[in-house]
Amino acid sequence: MKYILLSFLIGLMFNVSAQIDFLYQNNLSFSYSETIESYKMLDSLYANARLVEIGKSDIGRPIHLFIVSEAGDFSPESLHSKGKAILLINNGIHPGEPCGIDASLKFAEDLLSSEKKLLKNTAVCIIPFYNIGGGLNRSCCSRAMQNGPQEYGFRGNAQNRDLNRDFIKCDSENAKAFTKIYHQWNPEVFVDCHTTNGSDFQYGMSIIATQKDKLNKRVSDYLNNKMLPFLYKDMASKKMEIIPYVYNVDKSPDNGIQDYLETPRYSTGYTTLFNSIGFVTEALKYKKYSERVEQTYAFLHSSITWMNENSSEIIATKQLADADVKQQKTFVISWERDTITHQIIDFKGYEVEEVESAFGKNAKKTIYNHDKPFIKKIKYFNKFNPDIIVEKPIAYIVPQAYKYVVERLRLNQIEMVEIKNDTSITAEVYYIKDYETVKTPYEGHYLHYDLEVIKKIAPIDYYKGDFIVYTNQASNRYIVEALEPQGVDSYFAWNFFDGILQQKEWFSPFSFEDEAIKLLNDDSKLKVEFQNKMKSDENFAKSQWEQLFFIYQRSPYYEKTHNRYPVARLIKW
Ligand SMILES: [Zn+2]
């Protein structure tokens, strides 16, 4: 008896998997420091494991990466050259949703011990704990009515930002570290582990697979015709059936669900720009914590099983897609959901009932009746159509003055050629004609949207040290989505160019009036335009200042750079 107890205790000390099992089965989750200590233990116990630090988080502590590979090879270049398919897993971006943190630890140890065979054609990289600031802010209940664990971290990071809106804009140190990891490893498959709220249903997990129309067609066909059907089937065979993310078109799934469009601010929207297959796992928060960890583990296991058996095809598909993108001429930078086209899918839900509410006669309480499970056919709207399409230029010209933009291009390993001498380049430029801005701050920014632009060809002055970014790169999609101002998550949208939106020089009406009259008399076209405006706009006709401003804006005195987007498009030599 004593011997059994002793071996159990030794097992607990040295077997991380057993510790994790004990923990999550008792509705507990590892803290940040316990997670890192456990990975350190795996690193010291197994030759095929290595824990490294890559960059820092906003709160100053390092972002770790845990690498598991056969024969102790931890070099991405070497592993790629050996034909290993790379799986990158991110955990704890929302630390209140910790099932991936615990599931990944168990997954890592199993890959190092009982499941070594799954590393024959693969290597696995795990970010153990991404949002460390949020992870340190632990409490019992910041996710109202979540079914465990007893304690967990908070959604916002050390600056109270949502890191799953920070990928392309890359404000946080965490996102900068992620960008480094991502490009260093260039994974074929990426999984971001979450827990979801919203409606209740029978499934323990829903998943967001990269939206099919947005993903490179070659990769999308591979994902949707081959890998996804396997994942759904494999999960069902484990009695852990999954469903596409339940994003209701209306109030309940009865009226259909729709694909979630992950734009490049989101993790899988960002990885889509570089042709990785991305998944967001969303374990359902109403299920027991132990079930959520096991579901997440099962999905990771199914993913690596597929990758191990199909490594050559998955690698070749991504390589061909990367080659496609170098040649691709047009890019969609905004999408809209097709409200007609849909598939019919089975949905296993619970009858929704309305019962009396304690909040009085006029209120109703909605319940999902677990005694009345059902399977219904529902509509699944999973088609998105292009909204804005742009043709790529030969190159973009990026002034060095926009150092935060240059920094992000560098982080994303974009090749840039420095201009050697001060010069004037005739190129296509956008003038921002109109745009909307959110009224309250969103993730630390006043995000712009619904942009209207006017294109002009003009000679623009550039200086020694400014950058030419050619669009013959495998990262073209990132380049275009970041630099085209109408892109939903472009650097213009995220306020990196707001300076141009403010006029810097003005005129004094008293000194400008005589000149204004002269300008009108000297330019018959301007005069006709002015007279038409006087006839058609009553308020304009009454305002001397408006009339002077109208002429000023059309005169050589008006600054050419107002509302002119500073990244020009080189369209011919
Ligand atoms: Zn989440």
Q: What is the DSSP string of 548-560?
A: HHHHHHTSTTS-T
What pLDDT does residue 12 have? Answer: 53
Q: Give the tens place of pLDDT for each residue, 187-238.
A: 999 999 999 988 899 999 999 999 999 999 999 999 999 999 999 999 999 9
In whole angstroms, give the CA distance from residue 426 to residue 231: 52
What distance in angstroms lies between residue 296's CA and the mean position of ligand 1's atoms? 13
In whole angstroms, give the CA distance from residue 124 to residue 42: 14
Q: At what angle do helices 509-522 and 544-553 cross, to 10 degrees?
A: 60
In whole angstroms, give the CA distance from residue 189 to residue 219: 11
What distance in angstroms lies between residue 424's CA and the mean position of ligand 1's atoms? 48
What distance in angstroms lies between residue 262's CA and the mean position of ligand 1's atoms? 13
What's the burial of 534, exposed, middle or buried (CB within 10 Å: 0-12/13-18/19+)?
middle
- The pTM (predicted TM-score) of the whole model is 0.94
Architecture of the 2-327 domain? 3-Layer(aba) Sandwich (3.40)
In whole angstroms, give the CA distance from residue 528 to residue 532: 6
Q: What is the pLDDT along the chain (573 residues), one digit of tens a residue?
A: 444 444 444 455 557 888 889 899 999 999 999 999 999 999 999 999 999 999 999 999 999 999 999 989 999 999 999 999 999 999 999 999 999 999 999 999 999 999 999 999 999 999 999 999 999 999 999 999 999 999 999 999 999 999 999 999 999 999 999 999 999 999 999 999 999 988 899 999 999 999 999 999 999 999 999 999 999 999 999 999 999 999 998 878 888 999 999 999 999 999 999 999 999 999 999 999 999 999 999 999 999 999 999 999 999 999 999 999 999 999 999 999 999 999 999 999 999 898 999 998 889 998 999 999 999 999 999 999 999 999 999 999 999 999 999 999 999 999 999 999 999 999 999 999 999 999 999 999 999 999 999 999 999 999 999 999 999 999 999 999 999 999 999 999 999 999 999 999 999 999 999 999 999 999 999 999 999 999 999 999 999 999 999 999 999 999 999 999 999 999 986
Q: Which of 487, 479, 416, 415 is nearest to 451 (CA)?
A: 487
The three-class DSSP label of residue 424 is strand
The token pair that represents 204 in the structure block:
């323990």
In whole angstroms, give the CA distance from residue 526 to residue 516: 11
The three-class DSSP label of residue 164 is helix
Residue 84 is given by DSSP the state P
The three-class DSSP label of residue 444 is coil
Residue type, 304: I
Q: Is cis: bond before 149, omega within 30 of 0?
A: yes
In whole angstroms, give the CA distance from residue 20 to residue 481: 41
Residue type, 143: R
Q: E strands along 211-290, which residues?
A: 242-244, 257-258, 277-284
Q: What is the DSSP string of 290-335?
A: HHHHHHHHHHHHHHHHHHHHSHHHHHHHHHHHHHHHHH--EEEEEE
Residue type, 364: K
What distance in angstroms lies between residue 286's CA and the mean position of ligand 1's atoms? 14
What pLDDT does residue 241 have? Answer: 98
What distance in angstroms lies between residue 95's CA and the mean position of ligand 1's atoms? 8
Q: Give the tens place of pLDDT for each residue, 173-186.
A: 999 999 999 999 99
Q: Give the tens place of pLDDT for each residue, 455-468.
A: 999 999 999 999 99
What distance in angstroms lies between residue 90's CA and the mean position of ligand 1's atoms? 11
Name residues whose C-beta falls within 8 Å of residue 262's C-beta, 6 or more positions apart in sequence.
208, 210, 211, 214, 268, 269, 272, 278, 280
Q: How far is CA 389 from CA 357, 360, 385, 481, 484, in A?
A: 50, 52, 10, 11, 10
CB 133 within 8 A of CB 157: yes
SS3 content of the chain, % helix, strand, coil (to 5): 40, 25, 35
What distance in angstroms lies between residue 319's CA and the mean position of ligand 1's atoms? 30
In whole angstroms, give the CA distance from residue 284 to residue 21: 19
What distance in angstroms lies between residue 93's CA and the mean position of ligand 1's atoms? 7
What distance in angstroms lies between residue 97's CA and the mean position of ligand 1's atoms? 6
Q: Which of 255, 259, 254, 227 is nearest to 243 (CA)?
A: 259
In whole angstroms, give the CA distance from residue 189 to residue 227: 11
What distance in angstroms lies between residue 283's CA and the mean position of ligand 1's atoms? 9
Give CB contacts under 8 A, 24+ apart, made by 398-401: 398/466, 398/467, 398/468, 398/469, 398/483, 398/567, 399/462, 399/463, 399/466, 399/467, 399/566, 399/567, 400/463, 400/465, 400/466, 400/467, 401/566
The three-class DSSP label of residue 284 is strand
What distance in angstroms lies between residue 19's CA and the mean position of ligand 1's atoms? 25
Give Cα 551 distance to the centre of its chain. Answer: 45
| Bridge partners, 456 (sequence order) | 429
What distance in angstroms lies between residue 392's CA and the mean position of ligand 1's atoms? 34
Residue type, 527: K
What pLDDT does residue 573 have? Answer: 65
Q: E strands along 238-342, which residues?
A: 242-244, 257-258, 277-284, 330-337
What pLDDT does residue 11 have? Answer: 53
- Burial letters for 422-449: b for 16+ Cβ neighbours within 10 Å, e otherwise? eeebebebbbbeebeeeeeeebbbebbe
Residue type, 118: L
Cα dihedral sign, 559-564-567-573: negative
What distance in angstroms lies between residue 167's CA and the mean position of ligand 1's atoms? 14
What's the burial of 490, exposed, middle or buried (CB within 10 Å: 0-12/13-18/19+)?
buried
Tell me where in the chain the CATH 3.40.630.10 domain(s) lie: 2-327
Give Cα 372 distance to the centre of its chain. Answer: 37
What distance in angstroms lies between residue 101's CA and the mean position of ligand 1's atoms? 12
What pLDDT does residue 535 have? Answer: 97
Residue type, 80: H
What distance in angstroms lies between residue 94's CA and the mean position of ligand 1's atoms? 5
Question: Could you count the other beta carbons within 10 Å of the beta carbon of residue 388?
Answer: 15
CB 105 within 8 A of CB 35: yes
What strands lie across the sheet with 343-356, from one edge to the other? Answer: 257-258, 364-381, 343-356
